Structure 1
Amino acid sequence: MSTQVPQTVPQEEWLRLDRQICFSLHAASRAFNGVYRVILKDLGLTYPQYLVMLVLWEHGETPVKRLGEHLRLDSGTLSPLLKRLEAAGLVRRERSARDERSVEVRPTPEGAALRERAEEVPRRIVSATGFTLEEIGDLHARLDRLTGALDAAALQESPGRR
């Protein structure tokens, strides 16, 4: 795969905001957050809290470290999220009996019950996009491919690799 930048765009155009794919993704992310804010208000969750609950509903009791891996969040970001979810009575954190260094997180009965109320969220998001399910699947696949490529590029560019 070539790492050369295509030269079909004049050099002076490269630094225009409307040419930055990162900004298009940022703007789309902010728009998603706005829609999620409205939809999740009824559940009493923020978008990051919703993501935590999605992982717990899917996997059940999960070590904090693995939760961070699923969500691509570090412990400094994840800990306050979990603290707020615990204060709301939706999750419980406990030291692992197998490994004292590890903290396990699991939904409480209230957190598990919230899943049923959340089942409508994805349908409402699909509707808000105006995309077909096929278009969403295609976009999802492309974004996964983009994420993988960017992760690989970041590893190659990291100072320790030179």
Structure 2
Amino acid sequence: MTQRPTLPFTLDEQLCFALYSTSLAMTKVYKPLLDKLGLTYPQYLAMLVLWESDDLTVKDIAGRLNLDSATVTPLLKRLEAQGYIERMRGTEDERLVYIRLTRSGTTLKRSAREVPAELFCAAQRTPDFLMRLRDDLTALRGTLHEYLDK
């Protein structure tokens, strides 16, 4: 570990607040875009996972979203009620629940394709800046997970 610097202690100077308040602003930008699709932000994230790789277990989806299965299960039930996914018990291990896209869930992907472009417009930053920011945040998340796993 490096030497601990003396850091300012006001709210606006805190990294955690910058991340938190930016995340809130981000989800507010997403809300009207996702309302058109009939999805909440967490549902959208789950659908992104399934659009990348269909036929996953609840545990796989939860892991991909950095959430626990108990948090993911209710939102998957709502997606099932909307007709976007189906939940199937494993045949070899009934404790496993597999999630598969329905035809409507697959079709929804086409409607959702414009969401990232809208976000880029709202951010008013270059794609290079935003990709660099994403990469930096991903690296920070990894470092924090390593710290927590000690």
Q: TM-score, normalised to structure 2's length?
A: 0.96
Equivalent residue for 2:26? 32
Equivalent residue for 1:159? none
- Give CA deviations for 1:36-68 in whole Å, capped at 9, x if unaligned: 111111100000000111111110111111000
Give the gaps of 5 or more residues in structure 2: none
The number of aligned residues is 150
Q: How far apart, CA to CA, are the structure 2 residues paired with 1:19 and 1:140? A: 21
> Is 1:117 aligned with 2:111?
yes
Code of the residue aligned with 1:21 in structure 2: it is: L
Code of the residue aligned with 1:120 in structure 2: it is: E
Code of the residue aligned with 2:4 in structure 1: it is: V
Equivalent residue for 1:5? 4
Code of the residue aligned with 1:139 in structure 2: it is: L
Q: TM-score, normalised to structure 1's length?
A: 0.89
Give the secondary structure class of the aligned counterpart of 1:92.
strand
Give the secondary structure class of the aligned counterpart of 1:94.
strand
Larger radius of gyration: 1
Code of the residue aligned with 2:83 in structure 1: it is: G
Q: How far apart, CA to CA, are the structure 2 residues paired with 1:69 and 1:138? A: 24
Code of the residue aligned with 2:29 in structure 1: it is: V
Q: Structure 1 stretch 94-103 or stretch 51-60: which is displaced more?
A: 94-103
Tell me by how many angstroms 1:124 deviates.
Answer: 0.5
Q: How far apart, CA to CA, are the structure 2 residues paired with 1:123 and 1:55? A: 18
Identity of aligned residues (%): 44
Equivalent residue for 1:139? 133
- Give CA deviations for 1:111-156 in whole Å, capped at 9, x if unaligned: 1110000000111111111111100111011001110111111223
Code of the residue aligned with 1:33 in structure 2: it is: T
Tell me by how many angstroms 1:75 deviates.
Answer: 1.4
Equivalent residue for 2:143? 149
Q: How far apart, CA to CA, are the structure 2 residues paired with 1:104 and 1:155? A: 28
Give the secondary structure class of the aligned counterpart of 1:42.
helix
Query: Superposed, which structure 2 residues align to 1:91-110 within 5 Å?
Result: 91-110=85-104
